[in-house]
């Protein structure tokens, strides 16, 4: 049976970068489910549809084919055959993805794809509701978090020097808004699963976090030889 690892947590907690690094060390597939919601947001945005217009978003779903393709263990995000891996990483798409993810029909639309990937692979899957909704039976569940100010600082450092880099204050405001929206949506809100390990990384550097997550996975699976 494939080993499934669910890593949940708020925006900017480092889920994606940590999950990628851990998956590479273990030889697992990494699946960023947030990228699927970004893909939907990108697809509707490209047609001038905003996430707040729920009916139009729902009506558009039948024309959207999102995919996660894996090459050498690396994830690429496609929409209707187009590689949008870079295009979905803007601040605008981030906010729209948060709103899109609150639409029950969108979550149902993507649910089967996420489950299928997990059934077929040793996988590390990250998102907001992986351990609580998508993979409630995951072998390992981790809730990765950090203080909002620390998450904003990390994001600011990542973007600084790039054209159009937002201010630290704007990034912090966006993160707090996303936290509120994710935790207060009616469908599958962001929360720590009861059996998840809480990992607060506020005072940790990247390599320390990776080592900690690897240790948790090895302890929970009993697979001391992996990695």
pLDDT single digits (tens) 121-169: 899 999 889 999 999 999 999 999 999 999 999 999 988 888 888 999 9
Q: Look at residue 17 and tell me if it is in a domain.
A: yes
pLDDT at 74: 76
| φ/ψ (deg, to 5) at 36 | -70, -40
Q: Is residue 182 assigned to a domain? A: yes
Range of the domain at 150: 4-220
Distance CA(212)–CA(127), nearest Å, equals: 19
Domain count, the chain: 1
Residue pLDDT, tens place only, 73-90 = 678 999 999 999 999 988
User: CB–CB of 127/115 below 8 Å?
Assistant: no
Which residue, 138, 135, 154, 124, is CA-closest to 12?
154
Tally of CB atoms within 10 A around 166? 16
- Does the pTM exceed 0.75? yes
- Residue 225 is assigned to a structural domain of this protein: no
CA 141/CA 8 separation, integer angstroms: 8
The answer to whether position 11 is within a domain reads yes
What does each of the 227 residues of the chain score in pLDDT, given as a tens digit? Answer: 899 999 999 988 999 899 999 998 998 988 888 899 999 999 999 999 999 999 999 999 999 999 888 877 678 999 999 999 999 988 889 889 989 988 999 999 999 889 988 999 899 999 889 999 999 999 999 999 999 999 999 999 988 888 888 999 999 999 999 999 999 988 888 999 999 999 999 999 999 999 999 999 999 997 554 54
- Sort strands 82-83 and 74-79 into parallel, antiparallel or unpaired: antiparallel
CATH code: domain of residue 30: 3.40.50.300
Give a yes or no: residue 24 inside a domain. yes
């Amino acid at each position: 049976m494939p080993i499934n690892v669910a890593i949940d947590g708020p925006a900017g907690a480092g889920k994606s970068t940590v999950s990628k690094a851990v998956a590479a060390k273990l030889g697992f597939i990494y699946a960023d489910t947030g990228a699927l919601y970004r893909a939907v947001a990108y697809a509707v945005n490209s047609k001038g549809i905003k996430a707040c217009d729920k009916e139009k978003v729902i009506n558009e779903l039948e024309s959207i084919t999102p995919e996660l393709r894996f090459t050498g263990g690396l994830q690429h995000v496609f929409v209707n055959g187009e590689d949008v891996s870079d295009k979905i990483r803007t601040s605008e798409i981030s906010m729209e993805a948060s709103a899109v993810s609150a639409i029950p029909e969108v979550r149902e639309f993507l649910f089967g794809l996420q489950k299928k990937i997990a059934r077929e692979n040793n996988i590390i899957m990250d998102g907001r509701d992986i351990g609580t909704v998508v993979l409630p039976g995951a072998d390992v569940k981790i809730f990765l978090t950090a203080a909002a100010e620390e998450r904003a600082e990390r994001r600011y450092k990542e973007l600084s020097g790039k054209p159009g880099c937002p201010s630290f204050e704007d990034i912090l405001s966006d993160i707090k808004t996303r936290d509120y929206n994710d935790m207060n949506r009616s469908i599958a809100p962001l929360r720590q699963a009861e059996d998840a390990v809480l990992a607060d990384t506020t005072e940790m550097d990247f390599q320390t976090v990776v080592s900690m997550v690897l240790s948790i996975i090895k302890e929970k699976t009993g697979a001391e030889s992996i990695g």
